[in-house]
Amino acid sequence: MTERPPAFRGFRWPAEWEPHAATWLAWPHNPETWPGRLEAATGEFTAIVRALQGRERVRILVADEAAEEGARRRLAAHGVEVDAGLEFHRVPTNDAWIRDYGPWFFVPRDGGRRAVVDFRYDAWGGKYPPWDLDDAVPSRVAGAMDVERVEAGFVLEGGAVDGNGCGSVLTTESCLLHPNRGPGRSRETMERRLEAWLGATQVLWLAGGIEGDDTDGHVDDVARFVGATTVIAAVEEDPADPNFAPLAENLRRLRAMRDPAGKPLSVLPLPMPPAQRAPGLRCPASYANFYLANGVALVPVFGVKSDATALSVLREALPDREVVGVPCANLVVGLGAVHCLTQQEPA
């Protein structure tokens, strides 16, 4: 279906910075995602858990009892108290990128219970089969949480859109209009879908994503809302870098955009890190791939000088949150970082 069902019209998609009940994660386990670096990437993943612990509940998907026991041992070895605010759910996955395939939690506008929207997932246009286990995660989670699940019937990944909780949605043409996600993805069609399912009253179209991003240009690597009318925008200062032109175009568009009241958006430039590479590829490293949890912003860092500058920009933009750098030099070899690995459950 492409129209929001009547029973679902009383729900709202909250902004990421609104209070959370929990964060959902999926334990990394696919060696093809991190060739030769799965152990190192998992070590960095534990830093996400450690930073969230004590701020909100952390719910981690694992394949089975043995996988849970292994995760518990690994977390404990990295200083995580595995019996304090952590839950393990035995839900098998193909990979760890729960932002893109996980449940989208919506909250009722007038009280009552939350609901889960289940968008279809096809591993970014069929790039990485199989993806059947990932596509089934929203249904499994809704069942475990005993909440209503509503099937949307079309492909939409969590990293492809960013919302301010009151109707404005950021996205990119390169991803949302790509025909590999299904036929008929015109601007008009996708705007209708975002209106029906996300409550979008305004869709803000950027051009595309960054070099090395196998998602066809997810917006969570290039621009993010940090307030109702404030957007963080990734910028590349080196004119010789392949990211310079597309990020400059995104910045130009953002500075020309207006909020629903006709006022310009507040746009805060965020520097890009220097190119991060693995054998045969450039990794999609971006400080914009941060995650906003209760009282904290978890920001990917890469062990380079620009880390300090990026953290400073985000501390100024987010004065009411602790801004914590999460090492991602190995995680990003899997072509994602902190935001890609997390999915919020609003309070």
Please state, in angstroms and rounded to a whole number, the distance separating the CA atoms of residues 174 and 181: 11
Please state, in angstroms and rounded to a whole number, the distance separating the CA atoms of residues 246 and 243: 6
Cα 321 from chain centroid (whole Å): 19
175, 283, 328, 340: which is the annotated catalytic residue?
340
Please state, in angstroms and rounded to a whole number, the distance separating the CA atoms of residues 342 and 99: 5
**Cβ(276)–Cβ(285) under 8 Å?**
yes
Strand-pair category, 57-62 with 86-90: parallel
> 288: which residues sit within 8 A by CB, 6+ positions away?
220, 221, 222, 223, 224, 232, 233, 234, 270
Element (H, E) at 323: strand 322-327
Please state, in angstroms and rounded to a whole number, the distance separating the CA atoms of residues 87 and 89: 7
Element (H, E) at 76: helix 65-77
Question: Cα separations (Å) of 23 from 64, 109, 293?
Answer: 20, 21, 8
Sign, CA torsion 290/293/297/299: negative
Q: Verify whether residue 175 is a known catalytic residue.
A: no
Element (H, E) at 196: helix 187-198
Burial of 70 (0-12, 13-18, 19+ CB in 10 A): middle
Element (H, E) at 152: strand 148-155
Please state, in angstroms and rounded to a whole number, the distance separating the CA atoms of residues 255 and 266: 8
Please state, in angstroms and rounded to a whole number, the distance separating the CA atoms of residues 257 and 246: 17
Phi then psi for 244, rounded to 5 degrees?
Answer: -60, -55
Q: Which residues are catalytic?
A: 340
